[in-house]
Structure 1
């Protein structure tokens, strides 16, 4: 039988492993800041989008659009549920100027309707690659947004 020779690379790797085992330090620890999964990133984006939508609703409510309170509250419920699936440090939404003119309110209602319609359409594309529970939540949110687009009042 012929003796087996180890390569220099194998010897060095074995020596490094032995030194690590003796020193008790073990392998390097992963950084405290782990990277987010694609699902977590999606959830964080959804939360930020919902917070912007809530801010828009809130600005119209502050201008007298009390009919919009249930719509805003449903978006807040969505945010609350999304936050159960991810840890997010959110900053408060930027304050929006309060519109006071009827024309501005009508334009904003149109903007809200368009925003809701586009959000609902986007949800189906966001279902790929997420866990079943998150997919169900996103689909439910999309259905609610589609209902909002149809149910928003034409005027305040």
Structure 2
């Protein structure tokens, strides 16, 4: 085998530098990082749990003490989901919310046990479809949350 000429070595080095974006004086290529599907799923799950907790909290505050154990389980789910969210992407609790121009918002529908039951049923039905976007450990958590939600749909009291 014959040794490479100086010209071949320099040409190869220049080609590698061009491919790697390491040319003198020029910025490297801009790499746009696509959002991680699991990260997006976690954000979606967290937002859903926050809404659910808000609904339960409204009924508990209005005298529905029977719902406190259900609320506590949703708060545990939320804490477990937040633990899996990378620190750099987790919203800091002290950061102020962006101010928006006030807009008239319709009053939210009244929170009822039937509405909670329906919410729990729909959430439990959604969980199996979310498993395909998740790592095995997160899939386990999602399946566990879904099972709990299905049980909530059945176990919610008929009246307060």
- Fold agreement, TM-score > 0.5: yes
Post-superposition shift, 1:20?
3.9
Q: Matches of 1:35 and 1:29 in 2, distance apart?
A: 13
What does 1:64-79 align with in structure 2 at a 5 Å threshold? 64-79=63-78
Q: Provide closer, same or farther for how the CA distance between residues 14 and 78 of structure 1 changes in structure 2, counting only shifts above 3 A.
A: same
Looking at structure 2, the residues matched to 36 and 15 of structure 1 have their Cα atoms a distance apart, in angstroms, of 31
Pairwise CA distance, 1:90: 7.3
Is the contact between residue 113 and residue 158 of structure 2 (CA under 8 Å) also seen in structure 1?
A: yes
Within 5 A, what are the aligned runs for 1:2-151? Answer: 14=14, 17=17, 20=22, 27-28=28-29, 34-87=33-86, 88-89=90-91, 108-151=112-155
Q: How far apart in 2 are the matches of 1:133 and 1:62?
A: 34
Alpha-carbon offset, residue 36 of structure 1: 2.4
TM normalised by structure 2 equals 0.70
Q: Return the TM-score normalized by structure 1.
A: 0.71
Aligned residue for 1:153? 157
Per-residue CA deviation, residues 55-109 of structure 1 (Å, 9 max, x unaligned), is 0000001100011111011001001001111143278xxxxx8x9xxxx66xx10
Q: Distance in 1 between matches of 2:122 and 2:51?
A: 14
Structure 1: stretches of 5+ with no match in the other structure: 1-10, 92-96
> What is the deviation of 1:27?
3.2
Question: Partners in 2 of 1:68 and 1:43 — Cα distance?
Answer: 25
